[in-house]
Every structure is written in C-alpha cells, then in structure tokens.
Amino acid sequence: MKRYLPRSLVVLIGLVVATGPLFAQPLFAQENDPPSVESLARDLSDGDVNVRRDAAYALSALRGDALPALDSLIKALGDKDEQVVLESLRAIDAIGSAAIPAAPELILGLDNWNPQRQYRASHALSQLGAAVLPELIEALSSNNAKLRQGAARACGWMGNDAIPAMEKLVGMLGDGDQEVRSRVAESLAQIGSASNSDKVELAVLQRLIEGNKTEQSSALAALAGMSKLHRDSAQELQKLFQSDDEQTRVHVLLGLAVAEFDDQQLMPLILTSLEDESATVRDAALVALRKVEPGIAQESLAAMVELLKSSDPGVRTSASVAICSFTGSAESVMPSLMDLLGANSKASQALVADQDDAVVRTIAGVGVSAIPLLVRRAAASGDSAIFISPIRWMGPQSVEPLQAMMVQDDVAIKRVAVHALASLDPPPSNALPPLRKALQDSDTEVASRAAAALGNFGVAGRATVDELIVIAGQGSPVVAREAIVALARIAPQDKRIMPLIEQMLASDEPLARVAAFHALSLTADDPSTLLPRLIDSLHDDLPEIRAASAESLAKLGEKAGEAIGPLSENLQAEQVEVRRASLVALTSIGSAAATALPQVAPLLKDSDSGVQGDAIAFMCAIGTAAASMRDQIAPLMNHELPEIRQGSYRALVALEPEREDLVPMLIAALDDSDWGVRQAAVELLGGQGPRAISASGRLFEMLLQDQENASLSGAIKEIDGAASAAIPTLISALNQDNQRIRGLAIFLLGKVGPEAKEALPKLNELLKETRGRGRSGLEKAIAQIEGRDAGGT
C-alpha cells in the first residue's frame, strides 16, 4: 500500500463527503509525483497484490504511454489476481497496434472460463490491427469453439482491417457450433458495413445462393446486419420472404430495409409482416418501415389503420407504433381513426379509462394535428369523453391548438376544447393563460370547467386568484360553485375566501352549500365565526351537507364544544360518511366531548371498520374519561384489521396510562404480524419512559434488525436505560459497523453500570481504536461500569 493517504485524513474526507458539498470540486490531489512507467512495470511483479493492482490501474490510465511496460503487462496476464489481469488487458487494449507482441497471450485469453476475460481479450486483439490477422485466422481454424468465436468477434470489431480474414469467415458460416456461426455472421456484417467495397457482401451472398441450409441461414443473418446491400442481394432476400422460419423472415425484412430495393415493393412486405403472429417479425417490420421513404410509406397508412381492428392485441400495438411514426403527417387517416374511436366507444365505455388502448394511443401519437378533428367530433357526437381521451396523452403541445379552438363561435366546440384542456394531467404550465381567459366566457359550462381546471394547478394557479374571487362573489351560481372550490385549492390562506364561503353557505341552492362546505374544509382559515351556521347545518336534510359541516367543525377543535349534542345525534346516521365525520369532529373537540361517550360506545362494534377505528380514536382523545370502556376495547387487540389492533393499543394506554400490566402487554404487541402494530407498540413503550426498561433488550434486538428505524432508536432513548437482561444484546451490538447503533449500545451499557462489567474488555478494545468523536462516550461508559461515574445526563 505505497501511496495511501495518512489514516488521519479518513475523518476529514468522511466529513467532506458526508456533509454533502453540493456541486463539489475535488479537494485532494492524491499523489504528488506520478511514478514512472518503468517503476510501474516493476510493481506489476511485486509480491503485494495491492501494489500490483495499483500499477495495473496506473498503466491502463496512461493509455498509449504505457508501451514501455508492455512486457510486464503481458506477463501480468498470467497473474493470479483477477483485477491485475483485467486491468492489464485494458492497458494492452489501450496501447493499440504497438502491443502486437501481446497477441499470443491474448489468443490464449480467448479460451477462458471467464466470459469477461474472453470479451476483453477479443477487444484487445481487435485493437492490434491487421498485423494480428495471421494469428486470428489460425485461431479461426482451431478445434476449440471458444477460440473460433473469440477470434471471429475480434475480426468483427476490427472492421475493414479484417478483410483478409473474410474468406475464412465466410467458410465458417456453416460451422458446427451454433454460437460460432452466429458470431461469424455478426462479424461479417460488421466488416461488410465498415468496408468501402462490396467484397464481403458478394462472398456472403454467394454462400446464401450456393450453401446448405445452415450456411444460408447464417449468410442471411450476416447480410441483414450490414448497413447497406446491393440490388442482387435484395433479389435473393425477397425470394425467402415466404419462409416458414421466423428468423429468416426477420432477416429478410432487415436486409431489404438497407438494400437497394424499391420501397414500393418493400411496403407490401412490411404490411404483411405487421400482421405476422411473431412479435419479432412485426418488430423487424417496424424497423424496416423507418427506412422507407416517408412519402411512399404514407400511402400504406390506411392499411395500417385497418390493422388496428385486428383481434390480436400484439398486431394492434405494432400497427399503432407504425402509425405513430408518422407524427405530424397522418392527417389523411384521421377520419378513419375517428370512426374507429367512435365505434369502440359504442362497444365499450371502459375504453376511455384504458390508457393502453391502441386506437387512443395511436391518435395521441399521431400528434396535435388530430386535435381539431377530435374536438369537432366530440362536439358533434355529444360524447366528448371518448374523443378527448387521446388529448390527455399529448401533453403541453396540445395547448396551442386547443386554444385556437376556443376562440371559435361554436359554443359546443369551445366547451369540448376547455374540457380537453382541463383533462391534461399533469396540467402543463402553458394551459394557464387560455383557461384564465375561458373563465370570462359568457357560456357558463365553459367558464365553470375552466374554474374547476384552474383548481388543479394548486399554488401554481396563484395568478388567477383575483379573477376567481370576483367570479365566486358575482358570477353565475354554476361558475361560482367551481370558483370557490378552486380558490380554496389554489390559495387556502387567502383571507378573502371566507366571506365568499359565508355568502354561499346562505344560498338556497343545496349544491352551492355543498361547494361552500367543501371549500371550507380546504381553506386554512378558522371557521369559528361560522359556528352557528355549521351547527345548524348538522340538522340539514342532505347527508352531504351534514358530513361537510362536521368536517369543517373538526377544524375548530375544542371551540366546537357547542356542537357536541348535534354531532352525537349524527352518530346514528345511516350514512357512513356522516357517522365518520361526526366522530372525527368530536375527537377534535377532545376531553370536553366525553359527554358523547354513551353514543360513541356502540360504534366500537359498528359494521364499518372505518367507523370502529374512528370510535377508538375518540377514546384515545378523551383519555382517562373513557376508562370504563377498557373491557370493550381489549378484545379489539385481536381484531383482524391491523389498524384496529393498533388503535386499541393506543386507546388502552390512553385510558389507563399508569396501569401496571401495560408494559408486558406492549412487549407482547412487539411480536404482532403487522409492522404498523409493532411500530405503535414501540412508540407507546417509548412513551412509558424508564417504566418500560424491561423492554429495552427486545427493542435493541429489533433495532439491530432494522437499523434505520428512528422510532426504535427514539423509544430506546426515551426509556433512557437498559435492564441487565439486555446486556448480551448490547455487547453484541459493539461489533456493529453502524456507528450510531454502536454509540447507542455504549451509552446504554454505561447506564446499566457495574452489572455490565462483562462488556469492559470489548469497550476497552474499542477505546484503543477510537480517536476523537466517540472516545468521550466510551470513556464515560467504562467509568460508569467501573463505578467511577454515577452517570446522569
């Protein structure tokens, strides 16, 4: 380890890294004088593996400058350490053609059990250039398949330089080993693509024509992989299009796509292939389609739309991808796509929600040019949802065309356009101005949809608050209802909202009152001035209003004491929402609501588990006032729902916080099957403080299993000590890598005092190793155990 930094810098580096120098710059220069190539070469044969590794890493970083160390690098290929070998390989690779003396060792490296070594050896050979070809050609003749495969791969990576190996490679298209054949085909494709001449293509083509079946198949793969092909090859490929073999059809398509082949002739093959039962063939057709001249490909768009009717979902998906590649230029088929969408709509309403539907996604993929037609169809059909569904996926680019539709005189079109704008999810920032404008529209449906959509922007819609306030106060009732809710979502703290809510609460219109209550529950304002009205509304005929009123009362907390009576009456309501909202409001009132206990008690057995949970929460809130309910709550510790079990433990602690058997009960809960229940038990044990000292060992065991759990460490700290039974666990924690856990164990062992003397050897050992932060904690713990320090905080 010759070039290590002093160990004293460990902490400093740790601090720099851990404290997060965002946008950091390097602070340390690791080495002053870089060692010479010669000394690095010597280090490659050092007895210390770390020295050898460092040398190999340094030499590979030198790239071509490592040439003087070549002999040592070649020798290092036989090192027993994997890193030395791999890095030496990389260094030789980087030296390039001057590393030719390494060829024999590299060829040997092709025959290795380790696939990475084979891969690297091949690549290093490919960097040696034409001079290595004799060795490679010899390797291609080897009986060893790995050697043949590695040599073929090296030839492929070499590209045009490997032309002299072409003949040999072509001869191997019929190799007995399938992997070798496949590699040879790929290499010939690479060499052919890199070559300026057509030699490789012609040689492979000849094998395609004259070879046996195996050779033909490999030759076809090689041709398909080339970046360009001549007309002669295309003609031969075309003959094979009807093959039963899936891979053959794939290769034909890919080959024809890069061949001098008439696109007009290719398109029918592509269309046929888009219907192929094989996904691989369909994908090859999609690749081929992208190589076809756009004007010609467009002529087949209608046929592709027909494929969207296929019963095979794979075919529909492929057709969709194909049509989407014509983004911005598929207007001609838009009416057909609309018809298809309309037909599907009649067939299945579920389509609207099906984001993977091929037709919807196709139209979305075709792009915003579809918008005018979509909007018109939606306006004409009266079923705007289905025609708007593709727009949802178009994103911010759809805003401008929708905006253009909104200035038209046709109100039906305007309504659809604003509906579409409102459906964009997430709402793009450029949709704000047109929605703002729509807010002022004389058509109430347009304006109300715009108001509702503005609420989706949340705080980002702040610029519209003034306009919404005017509309909520003076606009038509329909628009005002949406505006008040949007306001509460955008600017919950705006003081101007509350008077508007009050105004709307006084409305005769039930829907207006529901909207006002909804807004009230969203605002940050204290609704205490509305208390009489809220209480009055608890008697409303509409359950929605009673529930909304109770929700608003919940925001008032104990100030809603006057509502206890009517809230209690609503506990018998038929609607779950009303019962739950009333319970939540009573819970928020706190101990004063204890008078409602007789009405709440039966709800512990309510048929709705949500109501049961809320009833338990109520018991927690009134605490000791509900002590008489213990026997009703205790059985709920075995309830099938973990939320109810968790709540029951919390309630039992709240009802009788001083009860002797609480700690054993909570320790038992630490073994509950549900994490949430266990977590609640942990927190409740922490709340017991030092009384829960008997739980310390079990809690620490759990912490060792779940080291990031802040509740566990928090509870242990709250208990502020450990029982003697916890000593073995705490001692075992002294071996932890996690410094936090170790520190906590040390702290607790100190708190145990002299009884923890068996921890002293390990603590003293740690003391010897520890410098700086953490040392004082160790010293203190040792002193406490040795009786020299009484502890304290």
Within residues 142-201, the interface with other proteins by CB under 8 A covers 157
- Stretch of 231-239, 341-349, 727-735, 737-745 lying at the interface with other proteins (CB under 8 A): 737-745
Bridge partner residues of 259 (DSSP): 229
Q: Are 403 and 393 in contact (CB under 8 A)?
A: no
Which of 15, 209, 343, 511 binds other proteins (CB under 8 A)? It is: 15
- DSSP per-residue codes, 380-422: HHS-HHHHHTTGGGTGGGGHHHHHHHHTSS-HHHHHHHHHHHH
Which of 747, 751, 753, 781 binds other proteins (CB under 8 A)? It is: 747
Q: Are 633 and 604 in contact (CB under 8 A)?
A: yes
- Which CB atom, from 9 or from 380, has the smaller least distance to other proteins? 9
Which residues from 581-640 bind other proteins, rule CB under 8 A?
none
In angstroms, the CA 395 to CA 516 distance is 32
Helix then strand count (H, E) for the chain reads 48, 0
- Exposure letters 614-648 (e unless 16+ CB within 10 A, then b): bbbbbbbbbbebbeebeebbeebbebeebbbbbbb
Which residues from 57-86 bind other proteins, rule CB under 8 A?
57, 81-83, 86
Binding residues for other proteins, rule CB under 8 A, total 104
Which of 143, 442, 607, 705 binds other proteins (CB under 8 A)? It is: 705
- Which CB atom, from 22 or from 347, has the smaller least distance to other proteins? 22
- Which CB atom, from 295 or from 772, has the smaller least distance to other proteins? 772
For residue 477, cis peptide bond before it (omega within 30 degrees of 0): no
- Which CB atom, from 462 or from 495, has the smaller least distance to other proteins? 462
Shortest Cβ 24–other proteins spacing (Å): 5
Which of 129, 458, 543, 557 binds other proteins (CB under 8 A)? It is: 458
Map residue 188 onto helix, strand or coil: helix
Distance of CA 65 to the CA centre of its chain: 44
Shortest Cβ 705–other proteins spacing (Å): 7
Q: How many CA atoms lie within 13 A of 319 on its CB side?
A: 28
- One symbol per residue from 82 to 111: x for binding other proteins (CB under 8 A), - otherwise; what is it? xx--xx--x--xx-----------------
- Which CB atom, from 58 or from 163, has the smaller least distance to other proteins? 58
User: What do you get for the CA distance between the two ends of the chain, in Å?
Assistant: 44
Closest to 582 (Cα-Cα) out of 607, 595, 564, 561? 564
Shortest Cβ 701–other proteins spacing (Å): 14
Which of 26, 47, 382, 792 binds other proteins (CB under 8 A)? It is: 26
- One symbol per residue from 706 to 735: x for binding other proteins (CB under 8 A), - otherwise; what is it? xxxxx---x--xx-----------------
Q: Is 645 in the site for other proteins (CB under 8 A)?
A: no
Closest to 91 (Cα-Cα) out of 118, 116, 115, 69? 69
- Which CB atom, from 320 or from 521, has the smaller least distance to other proteins? 320
Residue type at 426?
P
Which residues from 114-143 bind other proteins, rule CB under 8 A?
115-116, 118-119, 123
Q: Are 575 and 547 in contact (CB under 8 A)?
A: yes
Dihedral Cα 690, 694, 697, 699, nearest 10 deg:
-70
Q: Decide: residue 392, CB within 10 A, 0-12 exposed, 13-18 middle, 19+ buried.
A: middle
Shortest Cβ 186–other proteins spacing (Å): 9
Residue type at 519?
A
Which of 164, 294, 335, 433 binds other proteins (CB under 8 A)? It is: 433
- Stretch of 27-35, 201-209, 596-604, 754-762 lying at the interface with other proteins (CB under 8 A): 27-35
Q: Decide: residue 311, CB within 10 A, 0-12 exposed, 13-18 middle, 19+ buried.
A: exposed
- Stretch of 40-48, 438-446, 452-460, 501-509 lying at the interface with other proteins (CB under 8 A): 452-460
Q: Is the dihedral of CA 34, 37, 39, 44 positive or negative?
A: positive
- Which CB atom, from 423 or from 537, has the smaller least distance to other proteins? 423
Which of 14, 268, 635, 728 binds other proteins (CB under 8 A)? It is: 14
Shortest Cβ 287–other proteins spacing (Å): 5
Shortest Cβ 213–other proteins spacing (Å): 25
Which of 19, 143, 196, 638 binds other proteins (CB under 8 A)? It is: 19
Which residues from 231-260 bind other proteins, rule CB under 8 A?
none
- One symbol per residue from 369 to 408: x for binding other proteins (CB under 8 A), - otherwise; what is it? ------------------------x-xxx-x---------
Closest to 65 (Cα-Cα) out of 103, 38, 46, 100? 38
Which of 20, 295, 382, 598 binds other proteins (CB under 8 A)? It is: 20
- Stretch of 45-53, 141-149, 260-268, 383-391 lying at the interface with other proteins (CB under 8 A): 45-53
- Which CB atom, from 282 or from 579, has the smaller least distance to other proteins? 282
- Which CB atom, from 163 or from 257, has the smaller least distance to other proteins? 257
- One symbol per residue from 752 to 791: x for binding other proteins (CB under 8 A), - otherwise; what is it? ---------------------xx-xx--------------
Which residues from 306-345 bind other proteins, rule CB under 8 A?
314, 317-318, 320-321, 324
- One symbol per residue from 661 to 700: x for binding other proteins (CB under 8 A), - otherwise; what is it? -------------xxx-xx---------------------
- Which CB atom, from 418 or from 744, has the smaller least distance to other proteins? 744
- One symbol per residue from 544 to 583: x for binding other proteins (CB under 8 A), - otherwise; what is it? ----------------------------------------
Shortest Cβ 533–other proteins spacing (Å): 30
- Which CB atom, from 355 or from 575, has the smaller least distance to other proteins? 355
- Which CB atom, from 11 or from 506, has the smaller least distance to other proteins? 11
- Which CB atom, from 363 or from 399, has the smaller least distance to other proteins? 399
In angstroms, the CA 694 to CA 703 distance is 15
Which of 3, 231, 346, 771 binds other proteins (CB under 8 A)? It is: 3
- Which CB atom, from 308 or from 538, has the smaller least distance to other proteins? 308
Angle 631-637-640 (CA atoms, 0-180°, nearest 5)? Answer: 130
Q: Measure Cα distances from 429 to 201, 395, 400, 559 in Å.
A: 54, 10, 12, 41
Map residue 229 onto helix, strand or coil: strand
Closest to 730 (Cα-Cα) out of 765, 756, 769, 767? 756
Q: Are 342 and 310 in contact (CB under 8 A)?
A: no
Distance of CA 743 to the CA centre of its chain: 35
Shortest Cβ 496–other proteins spacing (Å): 19
Which of 522, 564, 703, 744 binds other proteins (CB under 8 A)? It is: 744
Q: Is 28 in the site for other proteins (CB under 8 A)?
A: yes
Q: Is 429 in the site for other proteins (CB under 8 A)?
A: yes
Q: Decide: residue 663, CB within 10 A, 0-12 exposed, 13-18 middle, 19+ buried.
A: middle
Which of 112, 310, 430, 507 binds other proteins (CB under 8 A)? It is: 430
Q: Measure Cα distances from 88 to 108, 123, 241 in Å.
A: 15, 13, 48
Q: Are 515 and 487 in contact (CB under 8 A)?
A: no
In angstroms, the CA 471 to CA 499 distance is 13
Closest to 463 (Cα-Cα) out of 498, 482, 439? 439
